[in-house]
A and B are shown apart, each in its own frame.
Chain A
């Protein structure tokens, strides 16, 4: 019983030290932020009636000059480098927009992109124009028609990789998945102020807990960052984080499957080691 007491003392001091250098230190390094808000409650609700056919017409008139929509027969007209040179950043293909982004966010984004992405400090306030003009001059019905059309052409599902590429890879590289940002480095540096980090190991360096609030609203964790809030829906963001995990922590499943076997083996070993020790020490005690 004396030995259990000693073990208790050691465990106590070890845990106090652990608590100090891990949970306590991390709570101070990363102050708690409000949980991710997938309703984007800070944005006004755009109300009205959207009409798919009208939306199709509006998209053809207003969007496809810059945006490709591969799924709806609007292919990319120029190569990435030319697009980036023309607009500052490659405009996204809109095929998946209706699937992966929140509906109300999309409507707000079309009306006023820098407000929705929380980038007014990089553009409006700095006297620069966001590459995409706002469409606040349209009626809410027209805006919602565009959203309705984008939703109508979007596939029902997409792979994690497709979602990631659509939402992240115009700016970010992910070299462990052999993905290179569609905007060339020189252009993206001019556009963002610095080259956005490679995302290969983000799942280990940031962890899913941080990414959950960061991707949802980058300003919350990294105030003043040039990274836009992209407005991924809850499911869309889960797919992006899922892909970060597939690439950066590809052996997670193997790790979690092997763990119980090793620990089980050791538990059995400990049991027999105890029996053996007792037998041996019975002779001398």
Chain B
């Protein structure tokens, strides 16, 4: 180690030991982001803050929650909601944020798809992002079980049952996951562990990976333009701020993010105070009862599209059982988005509206997902079942068609 000079300030003292000046540059003032962006580029920070809201509200809930089938419901609905000062606020924040975080994640994800931000060196950003989506899904599902209401119980019952369809090990797997032959106290306690420890830990790790994955390929921009970040950064540092195509993360990028974030928080807290039923299903305010099946069992809105793919196949085809077909399709739906970088065969990185074939694919996919989401909640009878079936087929076909469409588009040439 080099000879240590006497430090003249706390900042200098820390700098000698932790290289804080260098760190600030690398992480903030000389971390370069393209200038040509719109508010969709703020979704990352919005997600980060929503995740923090979930952690903070979660910590307060954790202080009073009891992971026991005889106490869980009352610890949530009486102790937290009515007894503890502002317990209701923390629960409303937690419940609404769990729902809204998925809305923002979908926007974030479709921004990536629209602008082609998953290719040309950005594959790991996409994959780590999709990994986060899977982890958040596990987090949402395990958390939904904790209040031990009717929907908690029956969603746990239906979803753990899905694993029973896996060949050979299915039945044993269900028992292993539940820790019992039926959804019981053991199930609640282990999902509590997953929800407050293992999955959050994995999420924090995956977030670190996601951020790190951005460093080498850099953030994409509105036109998909390839930017020489070093050259543009030099321009900026030389004072040519207006002509440079990049901006530093702090303060320029964040100043925009904080504005978008503030506006988002108005929307978020409006939901927390006045419009929370969409995220806190009234049915779940009935205590869990294994002998009383609710009239309609459905997952939260953000799982509906994949749930509909699962139950869309309601009749046997070519000797394969409907339930197996559904399970296969469901399995594909869980991983297929992760393969986007390889299914898109065109090397062009450009907004979808400048890609003649991909543009059609993008909007069709969005519409199909919304149709699946809406019909995933409705009773699967009569016409509904058929719409669900065709929408599930359309969803799978779109992914089958994607490599061909994009390969052809690459030949024709975009723009």
Contacts and interface: CB of A to CB of B under 8 A. Distances in A.
A201 interface: yes
Interface residues of A, number: 49
Given A13-B370, A206-B282, A262-B273, A201 B77 contact: yes
A259 B266 CA distance: 10
A17 B370 CA distance: 6
Contacts of B262: 266, 269-270, 273
B374 interface: yes
B330 to A, nearest CB: 19
A251 B88 contact: yes
A255 B284 CA distance: 20
Contact of B269 (A254, A263, A273): A263
A250 interface: yes
B278 interface: yes
A280 B35 CA distance: 13
B366 interface: yes
B25 to A, nearest CB: 18
A205 B285 contact: yes
Main secondary structure of the interface of B (DSSP, over half): helix
B88 A255 contact: yes
Contacts of B107: 10
A34 interface: no
Q: Which of A21, A204, A206, A262 has the most CB of B within 10 A?
A: A21
A266 to B, nearest CB: 5
B286 A205 contact: yes
Given A25-B374, A176-B82, A251-B82, 15 more contacts: A3-B39, A10-B107, A20-B373, A20-B374, A25-B378, A197-B286, A198-B287, A259-B269, A270-B259, A270-B265, A276-B255, A277-B256, A277-B258, A283-B252, A284-B241
Interface of A: 2-3, 6-7, 10, 13-14, 16-18, 20-22, 24-25, 28-29, 175-176, 197-198, 200-201, 204-207, 250-251, 254-256, 258-259, 262-263, 266-267, 269-270, 273-274, 276-277, 280-281, 283-285
18 contacts: A6-B40, A13-B366, A21-B278, A24-B374, A29-B296, A176-B77, A198-B287, A205-B282, A207-B277, A250-B82, A254-B88, A256-B273, A259-B270, A262-B269, A263-B270, A270-B265, A280-B251, A284-B242
